[in-house]
Structure 1
Amino acid sequence: MSALTVHIKHGGKQQSLQLDPDQPPSAFKQVIYQTTGVPVDRMKVMIKGTLLKDDNSWGGVNPKAGQVFTVIGTASELPKPPSTPVQFLEDMDERELASALKMPVGLGNTCYMNSTIQALRAIPELHTALDPVSNTPTNAQHRLALALRDTYKSMGKTTEGFMPVNLLMNLRSLFPQFAEQSPSGLYAQQDAEECWSQVVNAIKGPVPGLDGASGSAARTFVEQYMLGEMRTVLKSMEDPDEPEKVTTEGMLKINCNISNATNYMHSGIKESLDEVVEKQSERLGRVANYQRSSRISRLPSNLTVHMVRFYWRRDINKKAKIMRKVKFPFEFDALELLTDELRAKLQPATRKLREIEGDRLERRRARRKLKNSNTQAAGGPVAAEGASGVNAEPEAMAVDEQHPGDIEDEATAREREKAAMDEVIDPEIRADTGAAVHALFDLAAIVTHKGASADGGHYIGWVRKSALEELDESAPEGDKEEWYKFDDDKVTIVIREKISTLDGGGEDSTAYLLLYRLAYFAVAALLSASSLARAVPQSGISEARYDFVDHNQQLAFVSASATYSKYTIDFIDSVLASFANDYLQAHNSFRAQHGAQPLTWSPALAVKAQNWANGCVFKHGSTGENLAAGTGNYGPLDAVKGWTDEMSQTEDYDSRNPKPSHFTQVVWKSTTQLGCAVKECPPGSIFPAKFGVARYHVCEYAPPGNVLGQFPANVQK
């Protein structure tokens, strides 16, 4: 039946509306709400002296064109005219922009859609790909893509809240489950993960790729920038003669399973990739256990992680929520999730990017120290260095004597670093538009759920501020620590510390979907879990102020930005110095017994040590690092003690016949800097598999020791 034109009376005014007899009365009340502002829960609608109830059928009321409905209820406050002149978005500074941003208004349990499109908005390439979509839709998927494009354009042009009615209508038309209604007749709450998956799958066809290719070989935007490939090996655990079954399929998201033992996102992902499943065995003629191991064979530059927090409870016939706290990283290293072939292609660029970030941190500290020294020479105040009470690095201390020309120009350094990265990027990966050229990702957006079940609660979108701005790779890193909180049309700014609290543990907002984008800036220094546990109380700063990354149960301190709203360089120096105490004190206490000066900590050497340790190969490189490995709780003190115990090998020390050892490097007098790291390596990589996981410690030194001809001057017994 076609829509009818009817009239409503409210507040002494009569207005015309469209009534669709095919929709229930509750849908008509939603239309009345959008017209009058009277909330549905405070609204009474009368027709011919009869109260219109949500469970009434139109057959009983028999609406006709021209009929008059009386609406009783007080409207919510309507928007007021602006008290100040209109200001365009492009004319606002960052703070004004944040306060002015007004996003999609909730249309009754549509927060799942609003939060989803806000998170997808953090993919800048998507906006570029949506622009050329034809304005003549050919199917429902095409119409949804156009509605999404128009929604984003509206969000970029207005400072007032708006109703994304067109997008919502197309979403419900294409996917009827989103039009499901509750027993009260209102639209039911939906799952944001289902909305995300359906939207991404729907636009996969109509949104073209960005490489300009055409024909059957052309790939769409989603296939380029969001679709990965997962290689799965299925092997029988009960029939060793049964051949393995290998399959490869597309992957739009990675699941993070949450069990009673899951504390970190990385471990939950690995649990989902390595599972034991039951399957009918044709050879055995019965159900048998199979080991299913999956690894990523194509890594997209936009990686979606789904925290599997909802499960079906038969006793209450609802999808319940897993409340467990699961830490997620701000910087995610995906190397361990890749196939051996893809890991070999991405590892060189990943290591190089880590080295570059270490160099950038050193330059930033040097420039800051130089600025302070110039201020001191002019009689101005100087910021305190070494807040932890531990000596600063030699480079930072020596900067007082440097001149501006002694520090490499940042733009020149970036060009050099870009050329260095270009040399190590795999050509085949480079030719794959939208594929990740390394394995480091930055957290760009989150969709959280607040509540106890999937059928209720509230979804909120959180987007990193820098994700909504154009990236200038040649410019120094800006403030990445502030995030936008999109609670339907209410927008606020929160700091990174707030984002860290979205890891669960209750009914409050909990991370449900996480969008990671290919990183342009990597970690600056890495921490061992054992050192970290002691570093936090020593620094006197709450653990909540740190940002950690889980690399196979290994923790890393993230320092990816040049300027911070709350993390100053002094604070970073303090944390790094506190972290280094285990390695430094073990070295320096022994060096003091042998007439050698104390070492200082170098973040750049720590990055170098971590890159070497990540290979889980027990052998020396070209710079003579110290290596140690053990099982169980084999920590930094154990590693250094193992090296110094080698002193017994030098009892018959003769400068004409030197015996280089780990001990001689520890006490080498010319060495001034130290950087160490630890890696938990899988069984069989360093020791036989029966001994389990190995803790692999690597320490790098500068200048390196054990130089032939220099032993008498550097090793004092």
Structure 2
Amino acid sequence: MTTRVTIGVKHGKETHDVDVDLDESGATFKARLCSLTKVPIERIKVTGLKGGRPLADDADMRTQGVEALARRGKKLLMLGSAATLAKPAEEVAFLEDLPEGERDAANAGEGYRPGLTNLGNTCYANSVVQCLYAVEGLRDSLGGYAGGRDARGGTAALTTALRDLFGDVKTAKDTVMPVRFLNVLRQLYPQFAQHGPQGVPMQQDAEECWSAVMHTLATEQPEETRRLFGIGMRRELRCAATNETRVEDSVEYTFKCNITIEVNHVTEGFKIALNDTRELRSEVLGADAVFEGQSKISKLPDYLTTQLVRFYYKADIRAKAKILRAVTFPITLDVYEFCTDELKAELEPARKLKLKREDDEALKRVNEKKAALEDPASMEVVDPLEGTRFTGFFDLVSVLTHKGRSADSGHYVSWVKKDDGSWTEFDDETPIPRTEEDVLALKGGGDHHMSYILCYKARKI
């Protein structure tokens, strides 16, 4: 069955040959036209299709007669004009003449990767992509991904779409439109294809999108994904009535932070989430019994994803509600206390070396210079393990935030750390320079953007 055709679309004096995926929606097709013509999606009207009616956003392109029209050499007609910017009342001759805030915004495009176009309540997906792009190891592993056995469908198609989207972000000089990524995401996970009463795509939960992408990557690149994001967890439970124990090992891809009235810092929320009580089959009693205990980290990943569990289902309103409580988080996170005794023992040498290096840094520089003068060869010794030993410390590299009262409404943005230590807020198409202080202010406690997902990079020595 044909899935793609090319058809001419006449817009004004120009005609564009447009590649159409027949499995996509009318809104996705309009998004592709937006990228070609720079006409905002809401202004685009497409006519010339089967039935004579303008193309609806929720239309199935396979039912619009596009294939037959293309075969007969017919063209579609697109109406709509690009927005024109009003001429400024007063021209500014030099960038330095702008106020500081406007000057920062004008400089935002310099040294910043491009933003992603919002294709109708898709800020949740844009934010996930920008945070994941900050993971250098993921960019590298996807760069070498050749596709699975079914590259046109399933998890292989979405992995390929993400790989290609990363490639577009790397090379583009202007805003990138994630049309194909969103189209494949919606095909593989239909929950993200839901539309509202007016045919507009519905807002979705960014954490659910993150989990869907992570599941996809773990299916297609299991070893790389486990190394990059997989958190080894060991759950040890005990039944007080029978003294039976249960030990379970698993791999998780998010480190949960539960929020209660007592939680003021993420580490307090981690402790609550790691405690566990459940009913399990007791061999002694021959019936279910209560087992209690906790989970601990048994293996560390290169990148630790933490989720602040801010949303829960509220029965009386039959919708997700949001916990607005302020919960602070650190720029550098130490997870040593949450590790198993075996992992702590593995971390100890690197932690001691880290502390020693920090304590002796000034003296060490002096000694190194002195040693180099006395014996230049002494500086050529290279530690073969340098940069491979986990310390238990993680440095914040991205934050995904939410503004609003419900996970399925409001607005998501991402905050990403650059190599030089500065921060950028990606509000869909717009990159905005930010500071570390701006990021730490994302703790919550009101209607401002507040942290929902935090991504930390392992500090190795």
Q: Shorter-chain-normalised TM-score: which range? A: 0.7 to 0.9
* TM-superposed deviation, 1:62: 8.1
SS in 2 for 1:443: strand
Give the letter aligned to residue 353 of structure 1.
K
Q: Tell me, yes or no, if structure 1 residue 443 matches structure 2 residue 396.
A: yes
Q: Could you say which residue in structure 2 is the equivalent of 1:65? A: 69
CA contact (8 A) 1:122 1:444 kept: yes
Q: Could you say which residue in structure 1 is the equivalent of 2:91? A: none
Deviations along 1:120-139, whole A, 9 cap, x unmatched?
A: 22222223323332267544
CA gap 1:243/1:489 in 2 versus in 1, 3 angstroms: same
CA gap 1:510/1:417 in 2 versus in 1, 3 angstroms: farther
Counterpart of 1:230 (choices 201, 224, 233) is 233
**Quick one: distance in 1 between partners of 2:150 and 2:353?**
46
Q: Could you say which residue in structure 2 is the equivalent of 1:297? A: 298
CA gap 1:236/1:16 in 2 versus in 1, 3 angstroms: same
Q: Could you say which residue in structure 2 is the equivalent of 1:602? A: none
Structure with the bigger RCO (C-alpha within 8 Å, sep 6+) is 2
Moved more, 253-262 or 512-521: 512-521
Moved more, 107-116 or 444-453: 107-116
Give the letter aligned to residue 83 of structure 2.
S
* TM-superposed deviation, 1:444: 1.5
* TM-superposed deviation, 1:105: 2.5
**Quick one: distance in 2 between partners of 1:287 and 1:351?**
45
CA contact (8 A) 1:4 1:65 kept: no
Larger Rg: 1
CA contact (8 A) 1:363 1:407 kept: no
Q: Could you say which residue in structure 2 is the equivalent of 1:147? A: 161
Q: Could you say which residue in structure 2 is the equivalent of 1:167? A: 181
Q: Could you say which residue in structure 1 is the equivalent of 2:146? A: 134
**Quick one: distance in 1 between partners of 2:425 and 2:200?**
26
Q: Could you say which residue in structure 1 is the equivalent of 2:319? A: 318
CA contact (8 A) 1:483 1:494 kept: yes
CA gap 1:276/1:135 in 2 versus in 1, 3 angstroms: closer
Give the letter aligned to residue 350 of structure 1.
R
**Quick one: distance in 1 between partners of 2:328 and 2:124?**
23
Structure 1 length-normalised TM: 0.52
**Quick one: distance in 2 between partners of 1:73 and 1:260?**
52
Within-5 A mapping of 1:412-431: none
**Quick one: distance in 2 between partners of 1:162 and 1:322?**
33
**Quick one: distance in 1 between partners of 2:251 and 2:298?**
10
* TM-superposed deviation, 1:55: 7.2
Structure 2: unaligned runs, 5 residues or longer: 86-106
Q: Tell me, yes or no, if structure 1 residue 125 matches structure 2 residue 145.
A: no
Q: Could you say which residue in structure 2 is the equivalent of 1:488? A: 428
Q: Could you say which residue in structure 1 is the equivalent of 2:414? A: 461
**Quick one: distance in 1 between partners of 2:230 and 2:62?**
48
* TM-superposed deviation, 1:265: 0.5
Within-5 A mapping of 1:50-449: 65=69, 73-77=80-84, 98-99=110-111, 101-134=113-146, 138-139=150-151, 140-207=154-221, 220-237=223-240, 239=241, 241-278=242-279, 288-360=289-361, 437-449=390-402
Within-5 A mapping of 1:665-676: none
Deviations along 1:316-353, whole A, 9 cap, x unmatched?
A: 22222211111111111111111111112212321321
CA contact (8 A) 1:24 1:185 kept: no
Deviations along 1:183-230, whole A, 9 cap, x unmatched?
A: 3222222222222222223223444xxxxxxxxxxx721122321211
**Quick one: distance in 1 between partners of 2:202 and 2:16?**
28
CA contact (8 A) 1:236 1:242 kept: yes
* TM-superposed deviation, 1:17: 5.6
* TM-superposed deviation, 1:507: 2.6
**Quick one: distance in 2 between partners of 1:488 and 1:335?**
36
Deviations along 1:218-244, whole A, 9 cap, x unmatched?
A: x7211223212111012224x1x2411
Give the letter aligned to residue 233 of structure 1.
E
Deviations along 1:14-71, whole A, 9 cap, x unmatched?
A: 6666777766655555455445544444455667886666678999998873787765
CA contact (8 A) 2:28 2:179 kept: no
* TM-superposed deviation, 1:287: 6.0
CA contact (8 A) 2:239 2:292 kept: yes
* TM-superposed deviation, 1:11: 4.7
CA gap 1:32/1:142 in 2 versus in 1, 3 angstroms: closer
SS in 1 for 2:446: coil
**Quick one: distance in 2 between partners of 1:518 and 1:60?**
50
* TM-superposed deviation, 1:74: 4.1
* TM-superposed deviation, 1:355: 2.4
**Quick one: distance in 2 between partners of 1:149 and 1:22?**
21
* TM-superposed deviation, 1:483: 1.3
**Quick one: distance in 2 between partners of 1:20 and 1:133?**
23
SS in 2 for 1:515: strand
**Quick one: distance in 2 between partners of 1:256 and 1:174?**
28
**Quick one: distance in 2 between partners of 1:404 and 1:20?**
62
CA contact (8 A) 1:4 1:20 kept: yes
CA gap 1:320/1:131 in 2 versus in 1, 3 angstroms: same
Q: Could you say which residue in structure 1 is the equivalent of 2:438? A: 498
CA gap 1:416/1:256 in 2 versus in 1, 3 angstroms: farther
Give the letter aligned to residue 324 of structure 1.
R
* TM-superposed deviation, 1:153: 2.6
* TM-superposed deviation, 1:269: 0.7
**Quick one: distance in 1 between partners of 2:108 and 2:77?**
43
**Quick one: distance in 2 between partners of 1:52 and 1:44?**
7
* TM-superposed deviation, 1:272: 0.4
Q: Could you say which residue in structure 2 is the equivalent of 1:621? A: none
SS in 2 for 1:447: strand
SS in 1 for 2:391: coil
**Quick one: distance in 2 between partners of 1:51 and 1:285?**
67
Deviations along 1:614-669, whole A, 9 cap, x unmatched?
A: xxxxxxxxxxxxxxxxxxxxxxxxxxxxxxxxxxxxxxxxxxxxxxxxxxxxxxxx
CA gap 1:250/1:451 in 2 versus in 1, 3 angstroms: same
CA contact (8 A) 2:108 2:431 kept: no
CA contact (8 A) 1:335 1:439 kept: yes
SS in 2 for 1:438: strand
Give the letter aligned to residue 351 of structure 2.
T
Q: Could you say which residue in structure 1 is the equivalent of 2:97? A: none
CA contact (8 A) 1:99 1:491 kept: no
**Quick one: distance in 2 between partners of 1:233 and 1:247?**
7
CA gap 1:28/1:445 in 2 versus in 1, 3 angstroms: closer
Aligned residues: 428
Moved more, 165-174 or 343-352: 165-174
**Quick one: distance in 2 between partners of 1:54 and 1:502?**
35
Give the letter aligned to residue 448 of structure 2.
D
Calculate percent identity across the aligned residue pairs.
33
CA contact (8 A) 2:368 2:379 kept: no
**Quick one: distance in 2 between partners of 1:252 and 1:55?**
34
* TM-superposed deviation, 1:180: 2.5
Structure 2 length-normalised TM: 0.78
By percentage of residues, which structure has more strand? 2
* TM-superposed deviation, 1:354: 1.9
* TM-superposed deviation, 1:248: 0.6
